[in-house]
A and B are shown apart, each in its own frame.
Chain A
Amino acid sequence: QKEVEQNSGPLSVPEGAIASLNCTYSDRVSQSFFWYRQYSGKSPELIMSIYSNGDKEDGRFTAQLNKASQYVSLLIRDSQPSDSATYLCALSLSGNEKLTFGTGTRLTIIP
């Protein structure tokens, strides 16, 4: 089983709808979780971090973490065409010096 799993997509969502991106992970001691957005040909950009169970909201973005079920998700409300990108889930183990990335989900917002 891969350490971090994401549906590669593409995920197509109409403009103005909610985009829901999911990520599951295998290691129960994972501590910190991140969502990165990467536009084609560009570098990853950190958009959300979450460390404890529950929801964390930042503007149109909400990250949700459920450590018991080992999943983390990202909701994008009022999706815009500019949200079209690949979204990478990343996590770390406590005391580990590196992030482990998922393969990414390609999101397309349809005008």
Chain B
Amino acid sequence: DTEVTQTPKHLVMGMTNKKSLKCEQHMGHRAMYWYKQKAKKPPELMFVYSYEKLSINESVPSRFSPECPNSSLLNLHLHALQPEDSALYLCASSQRAGGDYGYTFGSGTRLTVV
């Protein structure tokens, strides 16, 4: 299995809703990442998990809350989002944390906040 699976593929949520994005990999990778990508822009790093521990938070607003229940799963909990948070949210994994290893990206969740 060489995939990173993200669910849901599309999500529309209101500004008062609470929702979660899910990411799963079974490649034995010990680093997992959340990225946000706006149209015609490169991916922006949000969070890095290394061995299930949060190692980087790129000053992301608290309305985004990551969780890593085990080495295969990564969640992103969303609450009280703003319309400007609408974007493609990408999960990625790599063998170990660190840019020496290429990332495998999931197919992403297209989020629209209304």
Contact B105 A97 (CB under 8 A): no
Provide the B79-105 mask, 1 if CB < 8 A to any CB of A, else 0: 000000000101000000111111111
Q: How large is the interface on A (under 10, 10 to 19, 20 to 34, 35 or more residues)?
A: 20 to 34
Which stretch in A57-65, A72-80, A98-106 binds the other chain?
A98-106
Main secondary structure of the interface of B (DSSP, over half): loop
**A104 CB contacts on chain B under 8 angstroms:** 42
Cα A43 to Cα B43 with chains together (Å): 10
Contact A32 B100 (CB under 8 A): yes
* Identity of the chain B residue whose Cβ is nearest the Cβ of A95 in the assembled complex: B98
9 additional A-B pairs beyond A43-B88, A51-B100, A96-B98, beta carbons within 8 Å, are A34-B102, A34-B103, A43-B108, A88-B43, A92-B99, A97-B50, A97-B98, A99-B45, A102-B42
Provide the A81-111 mask, 1 if CB < 8 A to any CB of B, else 0: 0000000101111111111111110000000
